[in-house]
Amino acid sequence: MIRLAISKGRILEQAIEILRRININCKFNPIDSRKLIIPTNMKNLEIIIIKASDVPVYIDSGKVDIGIVGFDTLLEGSIANHYRLLDLQIAKCKLVVAGKPNTTYFNNMKIATKYPNAAKKYFEEIGLQCSILKLYGSIELAPVLSLSDFIVDIVESGKTLKENGLKEFDKIFDISSLLIANKVSYKIKNEEINSFIDKVKTHDK
């Protein structure tokens, strides 16, 4: 049995579509169902629906064999008992620096973000010191209310930035979703996991 963890939200919707294209169907609709463990029409595959930040935890613990999760989630993690097997090119977005127009970077500026590690590393690499304010939602509000000088956040279309009077300054990373596997699972269940990967690779052909 292979257990596949998938992040809730947009990643789940697009991942289920990939599975559908390669004739892997869920016994219950994971979008509507409250079930967290969902069997499929493949007797050796079941899907686990969990919060994005928990996917690497379950994978690295070995309780789940493989998972689909955004690169942004992996950026912030410190555990690495997994292999990154395949970029699925779904749920695409980017991690950017944004702020009010006509502002400039300066030393010891305050950055609001959900991604403190990625933000701090980026500014260190361009030679600037900053203090990090970790927020969990409505990041765009921080510079508007002068709680921070800039934000580092995920952007898809940029519409939310514009509607809040903010401008994108720099792109830190392109983000998409990856298929990852527990290192021990990949060794023990190599044939089954690679067979699944081969199927997934055909989804857009």
Tokens of 23: 């004739």
Answer yes or no: same fold for 2-91+176-200 and 93-175.
Answer: yes
Tens of pLDDT, residues 134-156: 999 899 999 999 999 999 999 99
Tens of pLDDT, residues 79-135: 678 999 999 999 999 999 999 999 999 999 999 999 999 999 999 999 999 999 999
Question: What are the sequence ranges of the domains in the chain?
Answer: 2-91+176-200, 93-175
Give the CATH H-level superfamily of domain 2-91+176-200. Answer: Periplasmic binding protein-like II (3.40.190.10)
Counts for the chain of helices (H) and strands (E), in that order: 8, 11
With 0-12 CB in 10 A as exposed, 13-18 as middle and 19+ as buried, what is 163?
exposed
**Coil, strand or helix at 110:** strand
Query: What is the CATH T-level fold of the domain 93-175, as seen in this structure?
Result: D-Maltodextrin-Binding Protein; domain 2 (3.40.190)
Question: Distances from the Cα of 44 to the Cαs of 7, 157, 189, in angstroms?
Answer: 20, 38, 11
Closest CA to 101 of 164, 157, 159, 155: 164
Side-chain-side CA neighbours of residue 85 (13 Å): 25
